[in-house]
Amino acid sequence: MSNGIGTRESGVSAARDYVTNGTFKAELARRVAVPSESPREDSGPDHRRYLTQEIAPDLEAMGFTTRILENPAAERLPVLFAERIEDAALPTILTYGHGDVLWGMGGDWKEGRDPFRLDEADGRLFGRGTVDNKGQHTINIAALRCVLEAKGKLGFNVKVMIEMGEESGSPGLVEIAAAHRDLFAADVLIASDGPRTAPGTPTMFLGARGGMGFHLIADERPGAYHSGNWGGLLVNPGIRLAHALATITDAKGRLAIREWTPGEIPENVRKALSTISLEPDASDPETDPEWGEPGLVGPDQVFGWSSFEILAYTCGRPEAPVNAVPGNARATCQLRYVVGVETDRILPALREHLDAHGFQDIAIEPMKRGFFTATRTDPDNEWVRLVAASIEQTTGKVPAILPNLGGSLPNEIFVETLGMPTVWVPHSHRACGQHAPDEHMLLSVAEEAAMMMAGIFHDIGERTA
């Protein structure tokens, strides 16, 4: 590989060295050490420290101007905006990341690891935020730096958004984006979050499934009554709610509320999914090929269809059961849905379904936060083709292109509020342990990811030259 100044190879080589020489590990260690747990109510100082002491100085050293945007919904969850404008006539790229994490879960990690202290073992970097999302946006910022140092310029404009509330449902982010549309205006979002389809498979996804959470409640009466005296006379809310839930899917998880499905998978989406292989990891749970919509294979179920989940179910006092008919039962539920499902019809369709099945007494209570709209960039978009070709040139591998992520992201803010196509290039893997103890990034993926991103940024600059 040539290391000529200003060449594609020099930038890609510098990005590889950034990971292999330990610089990435050192930068990530500092960032993991900031306990930026967004669900923690007193986390505000940690969030500001992450943005102003970790991210802003790196960007300013690259010629970016930076500012903090206050969050109208939650003061403790600010947003960093940065921009580097080379020429107003050039295309502008927006990139995104989130510096907040979920609970560290200290004490639950193997080998006695501290979630906020980076630890390397067996080709893995362990620590909360290593993949979700500190490690991913750290790689992308470094790749920009490598290309800039190699070429002396990027050949395009860059804007950066780093939020601190994604793990809490991104409260206030849509209001910030709407209030600053001109500030965030760009031709495309290129960012990183989520997992690859397999550790060794470069992956792109073009949107995200939507997520809507709600509670179903059977509230029959105040208090509980002795089951010996009242059993057989009083409606049991646990039984009532269980039967209501059983009408939503069949015994194999097929959705009975057809408005919750797209009806069919578009042909270009199905074609893209036909090339995807979900390679299992040794730690993955065993899947059931008969679960979900009949006739759909794994990638179609996860990326092309909707799924209903019961996340929690309580009736009475599970921690201390007593001989009494309880007064109420509650199920916390979630629908993951794709483009083609009307968001505004999800809960009305559920109400109509329950009423039609005789469950007028079951109440629906929407969750207060955690809603994401389903989004998807057309797989034939020119930015999709550019990024895919660049990845193949760097790695020699044809990337897996997912029409959308199986999970949820605030992608609708970029697509709907800011009006741009979105291309995500994830640097994680499915068995990474995000949201759980032992979260980790594979060093092999980090190395390939840094090279890929440097190649993408170089190629965007050359395209506009």
Tell the CATH topology of 210-274+289-372: Alpha-Beta Plaits (3.30.70)
pLDDT bracket for residue 285 (50, 70, 90): confident
CA distances from 349 to 12, 342, 355, 358, 364 (A): 51, 10, 10, 14, 11
Cβ contacts of 281 within 8 Å, gap of 6 or more: 199, 429, 430, 431
Q: How many C-beta atoms surround the C-beta of residue 359 within 10 A? A: 19
Q: What is the average pLDDT across 304-327?
A: 96
The C-alpha atoms of residue 158 and residue 145 are separated, in whole angstroms, by 12
pTM above 0.85, yes or no: yes
Q: Is the pLDDT of residue 315 over 80?
A: yes
Q: What CATH number does the domain located at 8-208+374-463 have?
A: 3.40.630.10
Q: How many C-beta atoms surround the C-beta of residue 39 within 10 A? A: 12
pLDDT bracket for residue 1 (50, 70, 90): very low
Distance linking the first and last C-alpha atoms of the chain: 23
Query: 8-208+374-463 and 210-274+289-372: same fold?
Result: no
The full set of domain ranges for the chain reads 8-208+374-463, 210-274+289-372
Of 134-138, 267-271, 280-284, 391-395, the range with the lowest mean pLDDT is 280-284
* Omega before residue 133 within 30° of 0, cis: yes
Q: What is the average pLDDT across 320-331?
A: 97
pLDDT of residue 464: 64
CA distances from 125 to 26, 295, 393, 447 (A): 11, 39, 27, 12
pLDDT bracket for residue 2 (50, 70, 90): very low
The C-alpha atoms of residue 217 and residue 360 are separated, in whole angstroms, by 11
